[in-house]
Amino acid sequence: MAASVALASLWLMPRVVGFREHRPDTTLRLLAADPYTDPQNSDVDLALRFGAGHWPGLASAKLFDDLVVPVASPAYLERRGVPDRPDDLLGHTLLDHDDIDPTWMPWRSWFAEFGIAMPRRTSDALLFNAYLNMVQAATDGQGVALGWVHLIRRSLERGDLVRVLPDIRKPREMQYLTWRASRELSSAATAFRDWIVAEARAERITQKDLPPVYRTA
């Protein structure tokens, strides 16, 4: 089973215990790697992939679509203040990807949806090549990040990260489970595929499931 480092760490691993209880006799090998691992060019049976859902030579099953919201730690917002509008974020420390998958939404694309031209680099931006590190920096109070809700759900529930603005964006692409169309899956791989698809579809997150925007006292 292959997934990006962020997806494996933040979404898949918390659920693996459920599969192991369901199938205790099955050995699961998890490959966490960036960029995407293609089942056609590797020995993995299954791989999580973000996109439109149609790739030559691959079969796929939709897991979930996602929501993107600006997030920060409460400590950061108490120190720097809560923005009122999207363009207010240009005055904040923005945590961003230095080398990002084009199907993901960086800050420049997020601002563009509001008709805002983002400067080439804000003066105190922090850049990361790994989403997991960027989320940790946001949790540590170092700035504002774009949070993919399925990945940061637990951080939102604990209050480690909070919503900064009411604005929500829903990317066109979705998260899929993929496998080689020309090769029959083993019974164990089929069991994991069916289980993780059911898990994902049972926990669909909508806008009404999100916590309210953070407000300082």
Q: Tell how strand 95-97 and strand 126-128 pair up.
A: parallel
Query: What pLDDT is recorded for position 41?
Result: 85
What is the reported pTM?
0.90
Question: Could you read off the pLDDT of 38-52 as tens digits, one per residue?
Answer: 888 888 999 999 999
The CA-atom distances, in angstroms, between 135 and each of 9, 25, 72 are 12, 34, 9
**pLDDT < 50 positions in the chain:** none
Report yes or no: 164 and 82 within 8 Å, Cβ to Cβ.
yes
Q: In which residue ranges of the chain is CATH 3.40.190.10 found?
A: 2-64+171-207, 68-163
Query: What pLDDT is recorded for position 81?
Result: 94
End-to-end CA distance of the chain: 45
Query: What pLDDT is recorded for position 97?
Result: 83
Query: What pLDDT is recorded for position 204?
Result: 84
CATH number of the domain at 68-163, please? 3.40.190.10
Which residue type, as a one-letter code, is found at position 16? Answer: V
CATH topology of domain 2-64+171-207: D-Maltodextrin-Binding Protein; domain 2 (3.40.190)
Q: Give the CA count within 13 Å in the CB-facing half-sphere of 15.
A: 19
